[in-house]
Amino acid sequence: MDPLSDILALLRPENYLSAGFDIGAPWAIQFPDQGQNIKTAAVVKGDCWISVEGVTEPVHLQTGDCVLLPHGKAFLMASDLDVAPLQAGTTFKPAGFGTIKTLNGGGDCVVASSRFGLQGPQADLLLAMLPPLVVIRNRDESNELRHCIERTMAEMRKNDPGSKLVLQHLAHMMLIQVLRMYMNDDAKGVGWFFALADPQISKAISAIHADPAQNWTVETLARCSGMSRSAFAARFKDKVGQSPMAYLTQWRMMLAGEKLLHSREPLSQISLSLGYESESSFSTAFKRVMGCAPRGYGKEAQNTPSRSLS
């Protein structure tokens, strides 16, 4: 798989809810803090405002625009920010999976949304790099995203047998499309996520993910990228925010954490599978990166709340 797929597979985004609303103006709905969750929402018809806690300026959304709320912050959606808001908890209760709620007679604005949870303590590997609000504007190159939105609404309206599973897959597709488009739009950000938009550095990251046990050096990774050692090392640090070797070690430890939580492989086998010849050198690296010894990681992770995407 590619690096983004690798990390999303590791985090196991789980679609908790896909639903929508069709509302008539004037309207305003206040959504509470979503906890440790991620939410995607798309304006299928009409326009509205969104105001997110911690974001200074409200944003005007139009038909085809999509938003990602990675940190579960409370937010307001409205036709007019001066309208007294309804509370989402009572307005949409009960919120059935795949349902479209009609409010005020409907007709002016239609919004489709999905809520996800991220499993495991590694969620911040992705979420720490994302702002409280990501806005993806409707444009010619967003055909795949528009297709996901349109298919989502069609499935909600038909509610045919198997619709819940189809909606779950469409929600994952929307999440990936939004992340792809944001990655390319904001390629100046720092972190592995933004570095994937760099044609040369992404080759090195892909090589690490394809074979994490390989005896990688800065020189061999530079060759993968078609760059000199010094130029590669400087560019990698500039784009990713850490050295190539630090990124390699971090990724190995993420994989090790996954194995420790979800497999019965002995520590010696996990060490070898990730390129460590001795269990002691692996354990030292694991404790430095993950903050605890490998043998205690399962208990530590159980005390770390999983990310449930809003």
pLDDT tens digit string along 196-211? 999 999 999 999 999 9
Q: Residue 210: which domain range?
A: 193-302
Confidence (pLDDT) at 138? 86
Q: How many CB atoms lie within 10 A of CB 179?
A: 21
Residues 20 and 143 in one domain: yes
Continuous H helices in 26-142: 88-91, 124-127
Confidence (pLDDT) at 121? 64
Q: How many CB atoms lie within 10 A of CB 216?
A: 19
d(CA 104, CA 108): 9
Q: How many CB atoms lie within 10 A of CB 263?
A: 10
Name which of 258, 307, 305, 255 is nearest 276 in CA terms. Answer: 255
Burial class (CB in 10 A: 0-12, 13-18, 19+), 241: middle
6, part of any domain:
no
Buried b (16+ CB within 10 A) or exposed e, 199-212: ebbbbbbbbbbeeb
Task: Tell which of 152, 185, 218 closes a domain.
Answer: 185
Quick one: tokens of 136?
A: 């993806």
Quick one: tokens of 45?
A: 């018809």
Residues 84 and 107 in one domain: yes
Q: Which pTM was predicted?
A: 0.83
Widest CA span in the chain: 67
Q: How many domains does the chain have?
A: 2
User: Residues 36, 119: contact at Cβ < 8 Å?
Assistant: no
Residues 216 and 296 in one domain: yes
8, part of any domain:
no
Residues 211 and 272 in one domain: yes
Q: At what angle do helices 244-262 and 199-210 cross, to 10 degrees?
A: 40
d(CA 171, CA 114): 6
Confidence (pLDDT) at 310? 25
d(CA 53, CA 56): 8
Residues 111 and 201 in one domain: no
Residues 53 and 200 in one domain: no
Quick one: tokens of 194?
A: 């933004």
Residues 167 and 200 in one domain: no
Residue 236: half-sphere exposure toward Cβ, Cα within 13 Å: 26
**pLDDT tens digits, the chain, 310 residues: what are they?**
789 899 888 888 888 888 999 999 999 999 999 877 889 999 999 999 999 999 999 999 999 999 999 988 999 999 999 999 999 989 988 667 888 999 999 999 999 999 888 876 677 777 888 899 999 998 766 678 888 888 889 888 888 889 889 998 988 998 999 998 888 887 678 899 999 999 999 999 999 999 999 999 999 999 999 999 999 999 999 999 999 999 999 999 999 998 998 888 999 999 999 999 999 999 999 999 988 999 888 655 545 544 333 2
1, part of any domain:
no
Buried b (16+ CB within 10 A) or exposed e, 222-233: bbbbebeeeebb
Tell me the β-bridge partners of 51: 76
User: Between the CA of residue 198 and those of 7, 183, 235, what are the distances in Å?
Assistant: 18, 10, 10
Residues 86 and 181 in one domain: yes
d(CA 233, CA 231): 6
Q: How many CB atoms lie within 10 A of CB 6?
A: 19
5, part of any domain:
no
Residues 166 and 23 in one domain: yes
- Render pLDDT for 36-78 as a digit per residue (tens, 0 to 9): 788 999 999 999 999 999 999 999 999 999 999 998 899 999 9
